[in-house]
Chain A
């Protein structure tokens, strides 16, 4: 089986997680470590060069709690890369266990600098897959990291240019109206191709397709910004503990369903979005190698979709590990999040009449 035909559940802005201290506008709730545990194998990361190192940030600005963790301490790309390496190392110790990690960078750093930093202990040379991943078999990329960057200003071994994969565009639709640009967040995103150096849909040599199901709606909801991280974490803990106690969670919690976070990656949304791509006949046989979503969870429909040939064009099984939540740290994070959300709600109207584009 080719790597391009495999299934890679992917998190969009993987590091921008409420569990990492991104309290305003998080795009994930699970840490990268926990994402790995539930079967996520693709990671979309934004990298910037700050003070001699490569950091993961959401936009280039330094705003604790928004573009980087609330602690103010940047997440180093190298540390995250090592997490992937550690994961692959643990996997490779189990017989016949093969995993591949895919990283898609939105990079504002020279590729050779990226390579240099992750190779300071030889990890790039050891783990990056350096051949064209479009022709790789799954065996070729076994326990390897397939790394794509977003620009081709320079080249480095194992840092693949964006021309080696296809991606749909995720941007909002805007029109001019009485001197205002109007953004329509409810109109479903079409399957237009993402330019910016990505391969054209018609290119028959490029089979790797990243289906970016980034939800514009999710980035807007106040619930998502302020309350959702707390609700999410607490309901997860409650669910888990009730399960441990053999209590019938579903019937008892059914009446509290309104507390459940809204799932933007609902299969119905995902399916209809995928159908738009299929209807455009962008490939003879449409298969999204990577399906990227916000707020990926163990029961996200991205996993269901991958198991359903009608949805994804492939059928894949995923083995997930149980995540154990640290109740005290979650409650602590929740309190900080709530306090910060209240403070921000009272004091700030960030960006005045502008919308920060978070992609």
Chain B
């Protein structure tokens, strides 16, 4: 029916990641995000959803990029519950996924402490 094969490009999250980081570097700690900034974070977290499903935990570059993303937020926000909503859910997915999964590997490699309890 569909020829049996569907092709998807290999992705790297680096480009969007640096874009998001660049934006947040300008912000003061815990300052509210503008609508445009929330949209950007949202777009990135959508990409995280894709990575969660398809990225390979052995791909060091992607793991490091997402790990830095988590570390960044952990450093900026003093606790888990104060994270912006969309980022909050990405943290949940990373933390509760199987330890061998991509998101979980990235979270484990970050500087985030276990603040879910």
Contact = CB atoms under 8 A, between A and B. Distances in A.
Interface of A: 48-51, 59-62, 107-110, 150-151, 153-154, 174, 177, 179-187, 195-197, 217, 220, 351, 353-357, 359
6 contacts: A50-B89, A185-B5, A351-B50, A353-B8, A355-B54, A359-B53
A354 B116 CA distance: 31
B92 A354 contact: no
B8 A153 contact: no
Contacts of A174: 54
A356 B53 contact: yes
Given A180-B10, A195-B98, A359-B53, A108 B4 contact: no
Choose among A60, A183, A196 the residue with the greatest number of B CB atoms under 10 Å from its CB.
Answer: A60
B2 A186 contact: yes
A182 B6 contact: yes
B36 to A, nearest CB: 17
B50 A197 contact: no
A354 B50 contact: yes
A-B pairs, 7 with minimum CB distance: A357-B53, A196-B98, A60-B89, A186-B4, A108-B92, A180-B7, A108-B96
Given A48-B89, A196-B101, A353-B9, A151 B96 contact: yes
B90 interface: yes
B92 A49 contact: yes
Interface in B73-98: 85-86, 89-90, 92-93, 95-98
Contacts of A48: 89, 92
A153 B95 contact: yes
B49 A60 contact: yes
A50 B12 CA distance: 28
A185 B6 contact: yes
A216 B6 CA distance: 12
B117 interface: yes
B49 A61 contact: yes
B46 interface: yes
Contacts, number: 100
B11 interface: yes
Given A61-B46, A151-B96, A196-B98, A181 B10 contact: yes
Contacts of B45: 60-61
Contacts of A359: 53
B116 A110 contact: yes
Contacts of A187: 4
Given A50-B89, A61-B49, A177 B4 contact: no
A181 B8 contact: yes
Contacts of B8: 180-181, 183, 353-355
B6 A357 contact: no
A353 B6 CA distance: 11
A181 B86 CA distance: 28
B21 to A, nearest CB: 21
Nearest to A198: B98
Interface string B1-42: 110111111110000000000000000000000000000001
B100 interface: yes
B112 to A, nearest CB: 14
Given A186-B1, A196-B97, 7 more contacts: A61-B46, A61-B89, A151-B97, A181-B8, A183-B7, A195-B100, A351-B50
Contacts of A51: 85
Contacts of A197: 98
Given A181-B8, A182-B5, A357 B92 contact: no
Choose among B7, B9, B96, B116 the residue with the greatest number of A CB atoms under 10 Å from its CB.
Answer: B96
Contacts of B116: 110, 153
Choose among A51, A108, A109, A217 the residue with the greatest number of B CB atoms under 10 Å from its CB.
Answer: A108
Contacts of B10: 179-181
Contacts of B97: 108, 151, 196
Contact of A107 (B50, B54, B89, B96): B96
A60 B98 contact: no
Nearest to A149: B96
Contacts of B92: 48-49, 60, 108-109
B93 A182 contact: no
Contacts of A217: 1
Given A108-B92, A153-B96, A181-B10, A59 B49 contact: yes
